[in-house]
A = this chain, B = another copy of it.
């Protein structure tokens, strides 16, 4: 799939404006469907007190809100920087069709953002991660999936 540089430039411009206006980090994203911009997003982590308010997450939430859907089938996301694992996984959950990114995770790391570290961290087993991760009440937790299987009106996603 061929990307349209116009939308990437828009994502880059949004990122630069976001920095210059003191609103957040140097990241912007644009979601496009059939050549039309559905939503945009910029990094608002510090101003919104929300560590999940990365540009891609903001754009996905806005696009879903506008479309009234929890998926973005047929949508392409243009992001000024390679998505961090959080944003990449969100792109998968949203079922986007394609991803175009400008800067790489390594370039983001050079600028002080931990994306590359996080990709390494997620490949590790629980015991080797820097945030201690342990299992608790495993058998009891099966009640959650049992409830799901038994709930006739469940909406699969």
State the A residues within 8 Å of B (CB). Answer: 1, 3, 5, 8-9, 12, 15-16, 19-20, 22, 25-28, 45-46, 48-52, 57, 60-61, 64-65, 67-72, 78, 80-81, 84-104, 107-108, 110-112, 114, 118-119, 121-123, 131-138, 140-145, 147-149, 151, 153-157
| Bound Cα distance A57, B92 (Å) | 16
Q: What would 16 more interface pairs be, CB under 8 Å, given A27-B144, A107-B142? A: A15-B143, A20-B147, A49-B69, A51-B93, A52-B60, A52-B61, A81-B141, A85-B89, A86-B93, A92-B114, A92-B131, A96-B131, A97-B131, A103-B145, A104-B138, A112-B156
